[in-house]
Amino acid sequence: AQVLAKYKPALNVTVLVSHLRGTEQMVARALERFKSTRHIVLYYEDIVTNQTKLVDVQEFLKLPRRNLTSLQVKIHSGPLQTQIDNFEDVRKLLKGTSYEKYISTDYRL
């Protein structure tokens, strides 16, 4: 985990916005296709920041409530700008777009 934590990826800013837009469209299509199927929308950030979301999932799946734990090890911590090699380029590109929220200091995982 310590070796992986030292890795700082450089994001390809020439395709970043189009990839983010494509991902949004893919999610919208998936939600549209499953609208007649019993489902819940669950965001990773909600699970990490709100333990009651896991209770909601267990209730949705009609499972008995259990205290869930993970053996996952957090690799990256700290501000996002210290984890992306070309963060300044990414920040400039996303400034003023709907994706700017992802690089905000208020946006936490």
What pLDDT is recorded for position 105? 65
Instruction: Enter the pTM of the model.
Output: 0.74
Instruction: Map the chain to HEC letters.
Output: CHHHHCCCCCCCCCCHHHHHHHHHHHHHHHHHHCCCCCCCCCCHHHHHHCCHHHHHHHHHCCCCCCCCCCCCCCCCCCCHHHCCCCHHHHHHHHCCCCCHHHHCCCCCC
Domain boundaries, the chain: 1-104
* Tens-digit pLDDT profile for residues 19-43: 999 999 999 999 999 999 999 888 8
Instruction: With a cut of 70, list the residues of the chain below it in pLDDT.
Output: 105-109
What pLDDT is recorded for position 29? 96
